[in-house]
Structure 1
Amino acid sequence: MRYLLLPILLLSSCRQDKNTAEETQSNEPTSMRIESERPLMGTLFRIITYAKDPQEGYLAIEKSFDLAEDFSNRATDYDPDSELNRLTKSKPGIPIAVSKELFDVLILAKKLTEESEGLFDPTLGPLTHLWRKTRRTKEVPSEEAIAAARSRCGIGFLAFDEKKQTVTVKRQGLQLDLGGIAKGYAADLIYDHLAKEGFTQTLVAAAGDLRIGDAPPEREGWNIGLRTFRLKPNKSLPLRNCAVSTSGDLFQNVTAGGKFYSHLIDLQTGLGLTTRRAASVIMPEAKMTDPLATAACLSNNPKALFRKFPEASIRIVYEDRKIPSIITGVFTE
């Protein structure tokens, strides 16, 4: 599970000029590159877009940020009064009406939990909280604490009524963590709003998740640099009309008891992975690439997993050079 998304994808710099001289001389208004940032979900969201009217562009950007911030406030597990936490603290067996955005992301999370056979699972919150404690204290949790946390995990502890848009918690002590899907979902919310307003030459960057629209003027695509275990990108791709997510432990890790642990939870142990790997996934939407990048990192058989997602391109590299990398689709070009 990727609980805190990682800034492993590096957006390489683009020119900030106007369109070509020929376009400048025409009667058509030229598109200007504009960009803005806002702190959201424990990271910095960045939007770059091209607009013929910069004022209209900035207004659309701010509205899209507002939509993402509203979703973030609903879906965070850090705020005890968030809609997500009010749901998890509700009395077991009582259907709770939730907002459309929270319902949609939970339904998708349930589907992906089943398709990934639990490699991605939003109900692993109890184990997430143990990892956060380990990061603070540098102490490995006891086997008893891990077993107690495991007993409160399981997607079967949630029931959904799609007609009434309600969610029922079946077990007391359930903790939901949407850290492995919420940033991708928010990036899609931002892009979809901007595209609806006519700003399709857009890139949304949310830590390790990118949602990419049409290519910038006079370019083949957005030039995206990929990082794995080092800060310097070792490859770049010109991409357009897709999403890219990378999961790994470049920034989110802890050393406890003399041993390295990733923030990616190993389902076999209930602790962070102790072997380093990084996975990147390209698909049409970030709400899919975000959780599936986590699943790709955790899977012992990524090729079998991604046969369920034939439209995906994947790139998985391992620090242990004895383990061959897995590279498919766009990443082979």
Structure 2
Amino acid sequence: MHRLFLLLLAFTCTASFSQQRFQYTQAKMGSPFHLVFYAPDSAGAATLARQAFELVDSLNAVFSDYLETSELNRLNETAGSGRSVPVSPSLFALLLQSQKAAGKSEQAYDITIGPLSRLWRSARKNKRFPSQADVLEAKKTVGIKNMVLDTAKNEARLLKAGMRLDLGGIAKGHIAQKVVDYLKDKGIASALADAGGDLACTDAPPGKKGWTVGINVPESETGLLAETITISNSAVATSGDVYQYMEYNGKRYSHIIDPRTGYGVQFQRNVTVVAPDGATADWLATACSILPLASCRKLVQRCNAQLLITQLHNNHVSYFMTDEMRSRLNP
């Protein structure tokens, strides 16, 4: 997706006598998936890592809008049919959380954005700015009210033909969370999963206060802010457009689309959110890339989350953050 802005800085520490640090990386969901945890022995760690990556693949087969055979795309194919479709507990839970997220965010986060996502992906690939008619046509089916969920039967119905759900702003964080939860269930106390910049973690590494995370300078691929943040038993997600955007008539359009307008946002923010779980951090980072700053503050506070927004003005980084995030920053 659009989360490649966090760099883990402090993976090294002195392990306790019975715990060793293990790190594994595989390409998953279009970006490197990093896994770090502490375990007693290498054989057991390798087995757990393999099982964790298999879990990633199984969840991606449910949530991906890139895989034609995914459960999500099978649901998309029923749009406008008038049928309610039974879905797996995993997919239904994420659809329900996404529906609630849309309501909380004033529809700034909306998984029915799929037709717009496809339009703008094609535009960036072909370097052709979409016409207003193209945007309006794609926008016709966008709106969370067009997704109906039956909580008694675990069924979903997409009301309009041509609808497409896109879980890109929530699935990676959710999957990272599921991976560390799985490792915790297997007896691993300290673990971190990084799904292309969407991070979830459990207890701090042995001898440390937490996992130390660095944050990119706005509009920079490699530069880091002077400050870091420390997390444990929580999740972090970031959002920004340093990698994906379009320029047209002197304006820069982010790949982060406002579902309400159909266009990418034109202001450049780096948004960092710390939240209790990966899915919440993920969708909040997207919503706070779109909403006015005052609305962002209210939203993250409602969700028991913390927010840092940085912007670059005349080569000077400006900061906007909640009080809770300010106390978390390390010089």
- 2:103 aligns with 114
Secondary structure of the residue aligned to 1:332 is helix
Query: Secondary structure, in 3 states, of the residue corresponding to 2:51?
Result: helix
Q: Secondary structure at the match of 1:34?
A: strand
Q: Provide the residue aligned with 2:3 in structure 1.
A: 6
Match of 1:261 in 2: 253
Q: Among 270, 282, 287, which residue is 2:279 paired with? A: 287
Q: Which residue of 1 aligns with 2:305?
A: 312
Question: Displacement of 1:228 after TM fit?
Answer: 3.6
TM-score by length of 2: 0.91
Aligned residue number for residue 21 of structure 2: 33
Percent of aligned positions that are identical: 32
2:35 to 21, 37, 47: 47
In structure 2, what residue type is equivalent to 1:241? N
Which 5+ residue runs of structure 1 have no aligned equivalent?
24-29
Residue 123 of structure 1 aligns to a residue whose secondary structure is: helix
Q: CA deviation at 1:323?
A: 10
Partner residue of 2:132 out of 118, 123, 143 = 143
Q: Confirm whether residue 123 of structure 1 aligns to residue 112 of structure 2.
A: yes
Query: How many residues of Structure 1 are paired with residues of Structure 2 in the alignment?
Result: 320
Letter of the 2:41 partner, please give it.
D
Q: Secondary structure at the match of 2:168?
A: coil
CA contact (8 A) 2:14 2:207 kept: no
Deviates more, 1:73-82 or 1:146-155: 73-82
**For residue 62 of structure 2, what is the aligned residue in structure 1?**
74
Query: CA separation in 2, counterparts of 1:326 and 1:265?
Result: 21
Specify every segment of 5 or more residues in structure 2 that has no aligned partner in the other structure, as ranges: none
Deviation (angstroms), 1:303? 2.0
**Kept after mapping to 2: 8 A contact 1:242/1:285:** yes
Instruction: Indicate the residue corresponding to 2:188 in structure 1.
Output: 199
Cα distance between partner residues in 1 of 2:148 and 2:267 = 35
Aligned to 1:233: 224
1:324 CA displacement: 6.0
- The offset of 1:141, in angstroms, is 0.7
- C-alpha contact 1:264 1:294 (8 A) present in aligned 2: yes
Report what 1:328 is aligned to.
322
Matched, 1:188 2:177: yes
Give the partner amino acid of 2:30. Answer: G
Using the TM superposition, give the Cα deviation of residue 285 of structure 1 relative to its aligned residue in structure 2, in angstroms: 0.4
Aligned to 2:236: 244
